Amino acid sequence: MSSCATTSAPLIEKHTIGYVPPEDRHGKVRDLFTLWFGGNIAPLPIVTGALGVQLFHLNLVWGIVAILVGHLLGGVLMALHSAQGPQMGIPQMIQSRAQFGSLGALLVVLIAGVMYIGFFASNIVLAGKSLHGVVDSVPVPVGIVIGALGSGIIGIIGYRFIHVLNRIGTWVLGIGIVLGFGYILTHVQTDDFLTRGSFNISGWLATVSLAALWQIAFAPYVSDYSRYLPADVKVASTFWTTYLGSALGSSLSFIFGAVAVLATPVGMDTMDAVKLATGAIGPLMLVLFLLSVISHNALNLYGAVLSLITLVQTFAYRWIPTAKSRAVISLLVLGSCCFAAVGASADFIGHFVDMVLVLLVVLVPWTAINLIDFYAIHKGQYDIQSIFQVDGGIYGRYNPQALLAYAIGIAVQIPFMNTPLYVGPVSAHINGADLSWLVGLLVTSPLYFWLANRDSAYRRRMTSGKLASSL
């Protein structure tokens, strides 16, 4: 660990989107494992994982294989973003200005912010329903407000507290889900537990895509939780701790959802199936999941607030807000989401999942461009001062190469899409499997590399004299 890192840090985070200087760096790389493992033991991934057998009619074995393949593939991209944090020391979304330009990055930042707010609102609905399931006398709307306030307190305190809670959560939730698996597998209530469903290529590909997209959805904010680590932390260490934590935690939750619905009669709601399948320990599982939702949802609030600050700072470039500003914006987002969630339809979470599938179509090309630029073009060397300038400094207001690759990356996905707004002809031909994310990655990555390299000599001349003074 770097000698310049502080041995302790204030509980309430003072930085927002600004560069974290060496004297304020703290934490251990293993904290990334506990953050992403504990954060993924939660109801939303459990509900999503159950879709492989509920919606796509896979049997248990093929459902598990699809879940593992998807998380192992998508987790690579997610962890590569995480490894940028210690080297850059700034949030992921503001770093996108180095690829797209100060104004060119606005669309991606806006999309990421909307997605975070959607995640936050959906999770407080789950928190409200979970609290009502534990204590019948607590109405769902009241549970929603309680869940939102809990997440809000954690998000306002910030980075360090989020890591502390997930270190505790990893042990508690890890032990809890292992006990849950043990109880379900020894109290199976159906005769077709192993035989319900079968292999079908469209359902298998769709389940792989769901798992991969779950990981990719973290990409716009994963490095926000590694940016305080000392700059000399090895890229490989950051990658592997993030990758193993996220892939393992997510896979366990997805598989838990599949096991629970197969162990109970057909047609049950996933969380009702979890409660029934876990029997005597069901109430304990619901309490653990409720605490998990509240804790993990703080990440969504935190990400939404950083995205909003980034949008404003693009035009008010001299403003680097304080912890007080972050708290005020957090409360505004929290209040708005509570109002929307309490008055939302019964199928709010279903509508949210539909929205995320649409948003991911435009986030996948961003992922490809960001990773290619960081690892293959600039090799982690950026001018931090330029990133915070209103005109983008050496990166400009717009980067035509990135914007062209981004637009093409979206366009090539259209025939392979399967979203509520549009089903592409290729997806329709393979019974609804959505492979747009894979096509977007495979096309955008080499295209941006080729376009950026045409301009690489200019970029090297412009960055060579500025990097030393910016860090």
CATH label of the domain that carries residue 43:
1.10.4160.10
Q: What is the mean pLDDT of residues 333-353?
A: 71
Q: Which residue has the higher pLDDT, 59 or 327?
A: 59
**What is the domain count for the chain?**
1
**Phi/psi at 241 (5° precision):** -65, -40
The phi-psi region of residue 382 (left if phi > 0; otherwise alpha if psi is between -120 and 50; otherwise beta) is beta
Which residue in 310, 305, 295, 359 sits closest to 337, CA to CA? 305
Treating both helix axes as pointing N-terminal to C-terminal, what angle do 323-342 and 140-157 enclose, rounded to 10 degrees? 160
Q: Which domain holds residue 78?
A: 22-465
CA angle, 150 then 311 then 309, to 5°: 40
What pLDDT, on the 0 to 100 scale, is given for residue 347? 62
pLDDT at 470 over 50: no
pLDDT value of residue 271: 81
The C-alpha atoms of residue 207 and residue 58 are separated, in whole angstroms, by: 9
E-strand stretches of 370-461: none
316 occurs within a structural domain: yes
pLDDT for 170 equals 84
Residue 365 has pLDDT above 90, yes or no: yes
pTM: 0.86
The span from the CA of 142 to the CA of 9, in Å, is: 35
> Distance (Å, rounded) from C-alpha 60 to C-alpha 456?
49
Which H or E run includes 446?
Answer: helix 436-453
Q: Judge residue 454's burial from the number of C-beta atoms within 10 Å of its C-beta, 0-12 exposed, 13-18 middle, 19 or more buried.
A: exposed
Q: State whether residue 125 is helix, strand or coil.
A: helix
Token look-up 């989107």 returns 17
Paired tokens of 24: 């304020």
For residue 14, tell me if it sits in a domain.
no
Pairwise CA distance, residues 95 & 73, whole Å:
24
HSE of 317, CA atoms in CB hemisphere, 13 A: 15
Identify the band that residue 6 occupies on the pLDDT scale cut at 50, 70 and 90: very low
- H-run or E-run covering 373: none
Residue 12 pLDDT level (bands cut at 50, 70, 90) = low
Residue the block writes with tokens 């609290």: 131
- The whole-number pLDDT of residue 7 equals 46
Count of positions (residues) in the chain: 471
The pLDDT value given to residue 94? 86
The pLDDT of residue 11: 62
Work out the percent of the chain whose per-residue pLDDT is above 70. 89
Q: What is the largest CA-CA distance in the chain?
A: 70
Q: Which two tokens stand for residue 214?
A: 């779950």
Provide the mean pLDDT of the chain.
84
Is 60 exceeded by the pLDDT of residue 167? yes
**Domain membership flag for residue 5:** no
Among the residue ranges 272-286, 324-338, 398-412, 420-434, the one predicted with the least confidence is 420-434
Mean pLDDT value across residues 203-211? 89
Tokens representing 326 are 């972050």
Distance separating alpha carbons of residues 162 and 301, to the nearest angstrom? 12
Residue 6 in any domain: the answer is: no
Side chain identity, residue 303: G
> pLDDT at position 5, please?
45
Nearest to 241 by CA among 99, 367, 75: 75
Is 264 a member of any domain?
A: yes
Residue 12: inside a domain, yes or no?
no
Q: CA-to-CA distance for 164 and 150, rounded, in angstroms?
A: 15
**Is residue 471 one of the residues assigned to a domain?**
no
**Highest mean pLDDT pick, 49-63, 336-350, 385-399:** 49-63
8 Å CB contact between 254 and 45: yes
Q: Which whole number is the average pLDDT over 282-300?
A: 83
Q: Which of 406-415, 433-442, 460-469 has the highest mean pLDDT?
A: 406-415
Is the pLDDT confidence value at 469 over 60? no
Beta bridge partners of 423: 418
Q: Per-residue pLDDT tens for 379-405?
A: 888 998 888 888 888 888 989 999 999
Helix (H, G, I), strand (E, B) or coil at 283: helix
Q: Do the domain assignments include residue 17?
A: no
Is residue 134 a contact partner of residue 283, using CB atoms and an 8 Å limit?
A: yes
